[in-house]
Structure 1
Amino acid sequence: MYILQESLFSFEELLKMQSKERLPIFFSSLDLRPYAKELRSRSPRGADGHCRQGILRALLAAPLEGIATLTALHHRLSTDLRFRYQCGLSLDREAPSISTLSRVFADVTKKELAKRLFEDLVAHLRLEGVLDGSHVAIDSTAIRAYERKQPKRKSEQTGNANWGVKLDSFGNKITWFGYKLHLAVDTKSELPLVLEVTPAHVNDGEKAPGLMEQAASRTAPRFFMLDAGYDQLKVYEAARNVKAQAIIPLNLRREKEPPAGMRSNGTPCCSMGYAMTYWGADGDILKFRCPHATGKVDCPLGMAACSSSNYGMVVKVDVREDLRRYCHPHRDTKRWKALYNERTSVERCNARLKCSLTADALHVRGIEKVTTHLYLNAIVLLASAVAASRLAKAVA
């Protein structure tokens, strides 16, 4: 079940607006001139080209308007003069051709302009206080490709679309041909911090350390929330390397027998076999008390069998002994569960990209162009947040 949580930016409200009202608000948050400069032709020959800033605007407006292909974008620019004008393209000449749009898209891909714009927007939102970044959720989602299907081994050699297998929330196996979109999302604003695209066969746990490192370079994460598919020691170590804690449920399907006197979730047991009571932490040291002393169980031997102290037996555990099993806050506590519930923010972000925008409507080939396509979709979310922040300040 998704846990409903109020979003800090009015992306849904923006979608409800009519196009003629929505686009000016959206474009007001974007200064594309520095990026458009790099798209200008350096050749002195040929007729004057179309405004590169206008084409870049059109490429960003396409996901917001549900336009999935360059052919459809050309048609919209040709038939909707208001849309063409709002994109900043001239009305006294024909709309940019499909080949012109394709060349600019290829140039954006080659120069990684979409990635740079994405990173600049993240930095801006961080300064504006819209992005917090202390709590980050990480997950991947399937992106289906309409490329020529190849055997898995041959696809692995090209680094492009491949076959992927994943379990959904209900444990059903999903198979697709295409890519994976790996996202690190700020749980407070539900906005993407880091984006990476891989062929569909790449394991989620392989990409998590890199996403954590990139997120830490842009914000100061304290907690990373991930599902049980990321339950690997290297993921916990990567979180600790950036001075954060990974909040991940144990994957019991591959769980080994816990150490003697220990529950699988890292809770020590008393001599009678009862789970001891978590009693807080001091840095990396977790403290557990006798469950009879804390009133959790009615032990037939009382406290005397384990300790002569009125306080009851105390066991201390250093989380560094086993980063995967031990966690601060301790597993299954209210605090741990509350943190893990924030993981659903990345699912909502994925849903916006795939259902409200065009992230899952691929009509480009090759991982580089697919990455650009997904960056353009993510930029729409960030730019919407910038626009909403400016409107809120203007009203205030």
Structure 2
Amino acid sequence: MTIIRQTSLFSIQELYDMEPTQKYDAIISAINLDNIYPKVIKKSRLGAPEELNYAAMIISTFVRYVERIPTIKDLIKRLHDDVAFKLNCGFLVSDSVPSEASYSRLVTKLEACNVLEIERDKVVLQAIAEGFIMDDTAAIDATHFEARDQAPPKEEKPKPEPKKRGRKSKEEREQWLKEQAETDADLPLYDRKIEAQLDVPIVELRAEVPQDPKWGVKKNSEGQNVFWFGYKGHLAVGTSSQYILQALFSSGSLNDGKAAIPLLKGIHERLQLPLRYQTMDAGYDYEPLYEQVHRMGQQSVIAYNKRNEGEPIGFDKHFAPTCFREHSYRYDSFDAKYETLKYTRPKECSDCPLADEGICQKVYKVKITTDLRRYTAPARGSQAWKKIFKRRTAVERVNAYLKEFFQLNNVRYRTGKRAKIHFDMVTLIYNASKLAADRINAQLNQQQVA
């Protein structure tokens, strides 16, 4: 009888249950500290003492997130009280423990550069090179977390003047449209409509993201509005590997849909993964997002948001054509060469007398480019579409991991720029932990084969 050997599934939780020395080595080895060290090392005789061990400071900052140590003050106390922990973080016995001010200066230097975000992308590229990321679908979603400080009191806005009733004349309307276009052109990038982002380079999109803490609102599972003061983390996650492919930090007031194009462009230009599908919930149902995915040569699997739109005549709620008796045609296949969906005659038409009279056609074809929002591949409502859309839960799972195990909702900084360092650190440590777990899995599987 053939013996089937079960493959090992070593998880992040099992990684965190390992001995500290092994755990720290596995996670930190996934990050290239040589790229971070030159950014924070002391270059002047002035300021912080020269005897500080900057490499160990970087490692201990990472370990703080691994061990879920809430504050820098608690980290310093642990370094003072636990010699073994101090050695595991890379300090020598003779090294003095850095002060809170020293760690604050370290964060300031990280704030001045973009090294953590760059290293996060490099960890993903390394995972791709080692064969751990072979996804064909990415899922995009946002999660909110509160700022450290309480929200300032809301300012009372002056009441706008009542609008004049009645239709504008042709001249008045043209003048109004001209004024609106001039006003929109002067707005910041993320205050304009989403389609303004389509032709903007990824570097500019990243640089213009608002990062100050703001009031945000989102509907919960019960349909009620939930308000918070703080930030949002926008993630694009591989649905199979569950790596964070791209991440974006923003103010809590930024609309989820306005963060999607920077994430999509980041995946396409920085990683160049052979993805086939991008899946999102109804909060991302905007035409420019379908256009961006189509430009990338991929397909959108996004929940449809009606927005008080009526169903078109001759089509069902999933935009599949209907026969004379209003039975829906069945989705058959997608022709990628001609970007065409093929529908076949409904089952109910097999014994319909109208079928033989040629009133209802046997096959119905439609190009997805006629309306990228309504016509997706696979077609909306089909079993294939539903199966791909279910993969979207991967990004929700990662959001939960970041909050429960990686302290995403434990922001200790007051400014948005420093809070971004916290977000970048959390997402970098998560990806490094995922790569470490995958490497251990690969070693276990090789040992089993041997």
- Asked if these proteins are the same fold (TM beyond 0.5), I'd say yes
Alignment of 1:315-334 (within 5 A): 315-334=364-383
Aligned to 2:319: 266
Aligned to 1:353: 402
Q: Is 1:235 matched with 2:289?
A: yes
| Distance apart, 1:194 and its partner CA | 0.6
Amino acid at match of 2:265: E
Aligned to 2:14: 13
Write the distance in 2 (CA, Å) between the matches of 1:174 and 1:299.
53
Aligned to 1:286: 341
Please, which of 235, 238, 245 is the counterpart of residue 183 of structure 1? 235
Alignment of 1:78-89 (within 5 A): 78-89=80-91
Report Cα offsets for 1:84-117 as digits up to 9, x if no partner.
Answer: 1111112213311111011101111211221121
| Compared CA separation, residues 158 and 325, structure 1 to 2 (3 A) | closer
Q: Contact conserved, 2:329 with 2:345, CA < 8 A, in 1?
A: yes
Q: Is 1:40 matched with 2:92?
A: no
Amino acid at match of 2:355: M
3-state SS of the aligned residue for 1:262?
A: coil
Runs of 4 or more, structure 1, over 4 Å off, are: 6-9, 151-154, 156-159, 296-300
In structure 1, stretches of 5+ residues that fail to align are 1-5
Amino acid at match of 1:383: A
Report Cα offsets for 1:307-342 as digits up to 9, x if no partner.
Answer: 59xxx5222111111111111101121111111011
Write the distance in 2 (CA, Å) between the matches of 1:79 and 1:318.
68
| Distance apart, 1:49 and its partner CA | 3.2
Q: Contact conserved, 1:264 with 1:325, CA < 8 A, in 2?
A: no
Q: Contact conserved, 1:8 with 1:189, CA < 8 A, in 2?
A: no
Please, which of 347, 355, 369 is the counterpart of residue 418 of structure 2? 369
| Distance apart, 1:9 and its partner CA | 5.8
3-state SS of the aligned residue for 2:355?
A: coil
Aligned to 1:209: 261
Q: Could you say what the CA RMSD is over the residues aligned between the two structures, in angstroms?
A: 2.4
Amino acid at match of 1:51: N
Q: Contact conserved, 2:378 with 2:384, CA < 8 A, in 1?
A: yes
Aligned to 1:303: 355
Q: Contact conserved, 1:139 with 1:346, CA < 8 A, in 2?
A: yes
Q: Please, which moves more after superposition, 350-359 or 49-58?
A: 49-58
| Compared CA separation, residues 263 and 131, structure 1 to 2 (3 A) | same
3-state SS of the aligned residue for 1:38?
A: helix
Percent identity, aligned pairs only, is: 28
| Compared CA separation, residues 233 and 323, structure 1 to 2 (3 A) | same
Aligned to 2:72: 70
| Compared CA separation, residues 209 and 245, structure 1 to 2 (3 A) | same
Write the distance in 2 (CA, Å) between the matches of 1:242 and 1:130.
23
Write the distance in 2 (CA, Å) between the matches of 1:9 and 1:335.
30
Write the distance in 2 (CA, Å) between the matches of 1:22 and 1:169.
37
Q: Is 1:222 matched with 2:276?
A: yes
Write the distance in 1 (CA, Å) between the matches of 2:210 and 2:372.
36
Write the distance in 1 (CA, Å) between the matches of 2:325 and 2:290.
32
3-state SS of the aligned residue for 2:40?
A: coil
Aligned to 1:3: none
Report Cα offsets for 1:269-307 as digits up to 9, x if no partner.
Answer: 11121111222122211112221xxx3456643412445
Write the distance in 1 (CA, Å) between the matches of 2:24 and 2:292.
41
Alignment of 1:328-343 (within 5 A): 328-343=377-392
TM-score (norm 2): 0.80
Write the distance in 2 (CA, Å) between the matches of 1:336 and 1:150.
45
How many pairs are equivalent? 383
| Compared CA separation, residues 67 and 317, structure 1 to 2 (3 A) | same
Write the distance in 2 (CA, Å) between the matches of 1:288 and 1:180.
41
Amino acid at match of 2:296: V
| Compared CA separation, residues 386 and 290, structure 1 to 2 (3 A) | closer
Amino acid at match of 1:285: T
Q: Is 1:27 matched with 2:28?
A: yes
Alignment of 1:90-239 (within 5 A): 90-150=92-152, 159-217=211-269, 218=271, 219-239=273-293
3-state SS of the aligned residue for 1:178?
A: strand
| Distance apart, 1:44 and its partner CA | 3.1
Q: Contact conserved, 2:30 with 2:123, CA < 8 A, in 1?
A: no
3-state SS of the aligned residue for 1:377?
A: helix
Q: Contact conserved, 1:278 with 1:330, CA < 8 A, in 2?
A: yes
